[in-house]
Structure 1
């Protein structure tokens, strides 16, 4: 019987550590990836059906193609996980992860210029509960990002004409 409280205490410590580790994982992300995660969280929190506060959990895959003139093309696939805190919580330091709801799998691709997300082409964001992710969904995400107008030579400084 004495083992039960010890097991409960260890379980609670594991939950807290997992939440703290996720926040540490977020802080270790490069700024350009953080901006994409923040955009996904902003869109997720705009849904009225979302009741819990979500936190970045971990990166699944990422791709960062550096182009010329401080331009980069980003693809980031990551998990968001619900916490026990209510949506809109300002200080998430004490929020513990919920293990009774599925994680949200997000894929986002966007263009950055000097580290800021560009509005054109419009960033692509696709977030679904993890059980709904199939091979077809993954392939569709990649195809969509590859099909966006992310051509490196479309408009550049060499194409401009001066008034002289």
Structure 2
């Protein structure tokens, strides 16, 4: 009976990991670029020891500025896996999530032209372990992204929301 229960739990964990990977695959390419940028920055940070994968989006917004220009904001979670940092494989079966480490709370905002990320203005990436995220950090994220879109003459990225 215990073996059957263990098998059921393991199967559930694999399905949960696979679902998270499906959520990444379902993201529009323009949002994947921001997730990929945050993963790249995390893996280059000396203090990060684990490989991370996309878990889920908390919020997405984009402002169409005309002529193929968009300003995107994406707030999402990354979750550490059992694989070592630098692992290229994001297969849920080979790199399952760890449940004994904090989620990484990330916010990115950036400009795209014809769905290609622009480096001017420089994309903004802020990731921190979820328990360490403060209200001041949330406010700073929001303000930075507002300034990015205002400086470029775009409408406010958060103009339609009072959730910030």
| Larger gyration radius, structure 1 or structure 2 | 1
TM-score by length of 1: 0.87
Which is bigger in relative contact order (C-alpha 8 A, separation at least 6)?
2
Deviations, residues 52-90 of structure 1 (Å, cap 9, x unaligned): 211000001111111110000000000000011112222
Q: Which runs of 5+ in 2 are unaligned?
A: 156-164
Q: TM-score, normalised by structure 2?
A: 0.87
Shift of 1:6: 2.2
Q: Extract structure 1 runs of 4+ deviating beyond 4 A.
A: none
The 3-state SS of whatever aligns with 1:89 is coil
Specify every segment of 5 or more residues in structure 1 that has no aligned partner in the other structure, as ranges: 154-164
The SS at the match of 2:66 is coil
Q: Show the counterpart of 1:107.
A: 107
Q: Return the match for 2:34 from 10, 33, 36.
A: 36
Q: CA RMSD in A?
A: 1.4
- C-alpha distance in structure 2 between counterparts of 1:77 and 1:64, whole Å: 12
Which residue of structure 1 lines up, in the alignment, with residue 63 of structure 2? 65
Aligned to 1:140: 140
Q: Name the structure 1 match of 2:14.
A: 16
> Matched residue pairs, number?
151
SS of aligned partner of 1:84: strand
